[in-house]
Amino acid sequence: MLKAHPALWKWVIAPAVITLVVCAAVIAAIVALVAPISGWVGGHLPGVLAHLASSLLTIVVVVALAICGLALFVSIAGLIAGPFNEALSERIEARLTGQPMTPFSLREFAHGALLALGHGIRRILAALISLVIVFALGLIPVLGMVAAALYGAWFTSHAAAYDCYDAVLARRFLPYRSKLDFLAHHRLRTLGLGAAVTGMLLVPGLNLIALGLGAAGATVAAHALGGDPPRR
């Protein structure tokens, strides 16, 4: 779709610049937190055990913070890219259906902005709770790290799926619960896209445009799933 309509790329590139700043901030935060957290956890271990486990403890903290950082990055980047992705989705939908875009309405714009703000806050709160769970699991040797990685991968994929499909669903002014119901009803399709976008988020450079590509994919997928997702 983007290759066939190069003019759409500006809606992908614009949020990529902001995403670059967010990505740099998340990496800087992870680097800054490794030593203090490792020192705090090590300080609560017996002296001999703390000395023997110092290197392993640092690795555990780095892995846990990396998983937490990715989950938080997806939530924040999705919130930033939201308006651009909606504009991209609307233009793709117009090309798929052959119908003109809806004329701009200040009332609908304000209504959508308030909904997006409320839903965005709920997404960030969910991300913060998940970060606590991931970090707590990551402190458990071996099995805890595996569980943290699996849970972090699932949550990040689900968050990415929400952000991608929200480009379509937000324009229907759907309540938050209805959006989650749509994702659950098409679980394999939506989570598959979320997992693919999460994979792209791990690739330097590609991660800057991953959510834009995901929004384009979600629009095409939603059209294929039924043409018009349910409205409020």
Is residue 207 within 8 Å of residue 22, measured between CB atoms? no
If one counts the domains in the chain, the total is: 1
- Amino acid making up residue 18: I
Question: Rounded CA gap, 75 and 79, in Å?
Answer: 6
Specify if 1 maps to a domain: no
Query: Phi, psi (5° rounding) for residue 198?
Result: -60, -40
Is residue 71 within 8 Å of residue 131, measured between CB atoms? yes
CA distances for 24 relative to 17, 136, 206, angstroms? 11, 25, 14
Specify if 232 maps to a domain: no
Specify if 186 maps to a domain: yes
pLDDT at 232: 45
DSSP state of 171: G
Specify if 231 maps to a domain: no
Question: Rounded CA gap, 74 and 71, in Å?
Answer: 5
What digits encode the pLDDT tens for the residues 108-165? 667 666 777 777 777 778 877 877 887 788 777 778 878 888 888 888 899 889 989 9
Specify if 192 maps to a domain: yes
Full domain range(s) for residue 218: 6-226
Specify if 161 maps to a domain: yes
Specify if 138 maps to a domain: yes
What digits encode the pLDDT tens for the residues 45-79? 665 555 555 667 777 777 777 777 776 776 677 77
Specify if 115 maps to a domain: yes
